[in-house]
Amino acid sequence: MTDMPLLSNLDAIDAAHHLHPFSDMKKLNAAGTRIIERAEGVHIFDNTGKRYLDAFAGLWCVNVGYGRTEIADATHQQMQELPYYNTFFGTTTPPATLLAQKIASHTGDTLNRVFFTNSGSEANDTWFRMARVYWKALGKPNKTQVIARKNAYHGSTIAGASLGGMRWMHEQGNLPIPGISHINQPYWYAEGGDLTPAEFGLKVARELDEKIEELGQDNVAAFVAEPIQGAGGVIVPPDTYWPEIARICRERNILLVCDEVICGFGRLGTWFGHQHYGVEPDLAPIAKGLSSGYLPIGGVLVSDRVADVMVEELGDFYHGFTYSGHPVCAAAALKNLRIIEEEGLVERVRDDIGPYFAEAWKSLEDHEVVGEAVSVGLMGGLQMAVDKATRRRYAKPDDVGTLVRNHCLENGLIMRATGDRMLASPAFTITHSQLDEMVETLRKGLDHLRDAVGE
């Protein structure tokens, strides 16, 4: 460490001064916080020297792994040359422009422009305004309503949290804001009833059509969804879902927005999640894997359809952030993307480590407490259940996930739990043997659940 004095009482200082995101501070202060001091590859180390295998890549973001000195060097150099300049008032910086070009080289034919933000939440607030501005510029000012999904996560800002479909978030702060409604998610295991996954996928996709009908097509601006719902539990949609959603958006003339904050930059074995599902969004918020979390940066991918109107018709778009396209963050992202390209990490996820993970993860389905273990690329969701045949779930889903997660933690594995689902999203550089270790430690956590809990 550089300028930090050795602090034996960091825990107490933290309790006195630091409010953590998404935390019950009373409980956290009583339990004490984990203090992470350093990291290397797929491992993080706490202040007692304990090593953890990070199966979550930080927060779905450290896709190239920890300890990349190339990124540190690139940012160090950029800091010395130009630590900051804005991209307002007719100005840009080399890293911002080159990063936009680099991103566009991986998006296919239609998403050729990027608007930079600092985070995924801001990216969602940004496209939300863009969608409305787009329709207004086309002479359709009533097309303002946005349809999103229950149990989705799109961030913690006002629009982001409103677009998200988490009731407990809405309850804090009188959300959602007007103009946003939520339809069901394609969560077959919990909500599919007697339908086959394929039937259920179509059914929930067609809820979009019903909602558009209810609101009036001329009032609806856009539909937003994560290619695979992440924080909601890695909800992998049935194959029938996305094509039907894309068809409805096209035929109903509303914008399709894919939130690529997690899926973007290789996690599903394609550069973007929508490519995996063969659909073409009009707008796509990005963040996380753009810089592998080394510095904060996000953005919105903008299709020619929307950009042409913004460029040709709109005039000023009164929107932007002091740090939009921050040169140091952009330099970090640029180097990160070069690493992904040079090391063939997207191809590695698609052809090697993704299939290996899929098999190892799937093998957990033979465990008594596992209902399903699904994955795409390096994104996995594991459903715990009391009864496999009937898909009956535990009475207290949160307790179940916490129990398994804590057991993993004690045994040196960082996993995330959402209710009664365990989530994995390791770095693209994870080795086969590290994946085996991850799955074996999780299996022990599942044994612990089986032995500790009834129903």
Query: Per CB under 6 A, does 295 bind ligand PMP?
Result: no
Task: Tell me the Ramachandran region of residue 151: left when phi exceeds 0, alpha when psi lies from -120 to 50, beta otherwise.
Answer: left
Q: For ligand PMP, which is the closer residue by CB, 203 or 405?
A: 405
Site string for ligand PMP, 185-224 (x = CB under 6 A): ----------------------------------------
For the bound state, the minimum distance from the C-beta of residue 287 to ligand PMP, rounded and expressed in Å, comes to: 4
Distance CA 405, CA 17 (A): 27
Q: For ligand PMP, which is the closer residue by CB, 78 or 121?
A: 121
Kindly give the residue spans of alpha helices, DSSP state H, lying in 39-184.
57-60, 69-81, 94-104, 120-137, 158-163, 167-170
Q: For ligand PMP, which is the closer residue by CB, 386 or 415?
A: 415
Query: Per CB under 6 A, does 261 bind ligand PMP?
Result: yes
φ, ψ dihedrals at 321, nearest 5°: -125, 145
φ, ψ dihedrals at 24, nearest 5°: -85, 100
Query: Per CB under 6 A, does 230 bind ligand PMP?
Result: yes
Q: Which of 189, 238, 236 shows the shortest CA–CA distance to 391?
A: 189
φ, ψ dihedrals at 408, nearest 5°: -60, -45
For the bound state, the minimum distance from the C-beta of residue 341 to ligand PMP, rounded and expressed in Å, comes to: 23
Q: In one letter, which amino acid is 79?
A: M
Near ligand PMP by CB under 6 A, which window of 73-81, 116-124, 232-240, 353-361?
116-124
Q: For ligand PMP, which is the closer residue by CB, 159 or 386?
A: 159
Q: For ligand PMP, which is the closer residue by CB, 53 or 261?
A: 261
Near ligand PMP by CB under 6 A, which window of 115-123, 168-176, 385-393, 444-452?
115-123
Q: Which residue is nearest to ligand PMP (CB)?
A: 120
Q: For ligand PMP, which is the closer residue by CB, 261 or 334?
A: 261
Among 154, 335, 367, 407, binds ligand PMP (CB under 6 A): 154
Q: For ligand PMP, which is the closer residue by CB, 133 or 287?
A: 287
Contact status, residue 149 vs residue 319, Cβ threshold 8 Å: no
Query: Per CB under 6 A, does 262 bind ligand PMP?
Result: yes
Q: For ligand PMP, which is the closer residue by CB, 286 or 449?
A: 286
φ, ψ dihedrals at 64, nearest 5°: -95, 5
Among 169, 220, 231, 435, binds ligand PMP (CB under 6 A): 231
Using CA atoms, how far residue 295 sits from 205, 298, 340, in Å, is 36, 10, 16
Site string for ligand PMP, 268-287 (x = CB under 6 A): -------------------x
Near ligand PMP by CB under 6 A, which window of 114-122, 238-246, 401-409, 439-447?
114-122
Beta pairing class for 379-384 and 370-376? antiparallel
Near ligand PMP by CB under 6 A, which window of 50-58, 149-157, 184-192, 365-373?
149-157
Contact status, residue 305 vs residue 110, Cβ threshold 8 Å: yes
Query: Per CB under 6 A, does 327 bind ligand PMP?
Result: no
Q: For ligand PMP, which is the closer residue by CB, 182 or 203?
A: 182
Among 95, 155, 232, 273, binds ligand PMP (CB under 6 A): 155
Kindly give the residue spans of alpha helices, DSSP state H, lying in 373-431.
397-410
Distance CA 256, CA 263 (A): 16
Report long-range pairs for 357-361 (Cβ below 8 Å, ≥24 apart). Answer: 357/424, 357/426, 357/435, 360/435, 360/436, 360/439, 361/424, 361/439
3-state secondary structure 242-267: HHHHHHHHHHHCCEEEECCCCCCCCC
Residue 283 forms beta bridges with which residues?
257, 302
Site string for ligand PMP, 119-148 (x = CB under 6 A): xxx--x------------------------
Distance CA 141, CA 40 (A): 51
Among 54, 209, 226, 420, binds ligand PMP (CB under 6 A): 226
Strands lying side by side in the sheet with 145-149: 111-117, 298-303, 283-286, 255-258, 220-225, 145-149, 180-183
Q: For ligand PMP, which is the closer residue by CB, 146 or 439?
A: 146
Q: Which of 223, 203, 204 shows the shortest CA–CA distance to 212?
A: 223
Near ligand PMP by CB under 6 A, which window of 98-106, 131-139, 152-160, 177-185?
152-160
Q: How many residues bind ligand PMP (CB under 6 A)?
A: 15
Among 54, 125, 207, 259, binds ligand PMP (CB under 6 A): 259
For the bound state, the minimum distance from the C-beta of residue 156 to ligand PMP, rounded and expressed in Å, comes to: 6
Using CA atoms, how far residue 49 sits from 34, 43, 62, 325, in Å, is 11, 12, 21, 37
Binding site for ligand PMP (CB under 6 A): 119-121, 124, 153-155, 226, 230-231, 259, 261-262, 287, 298
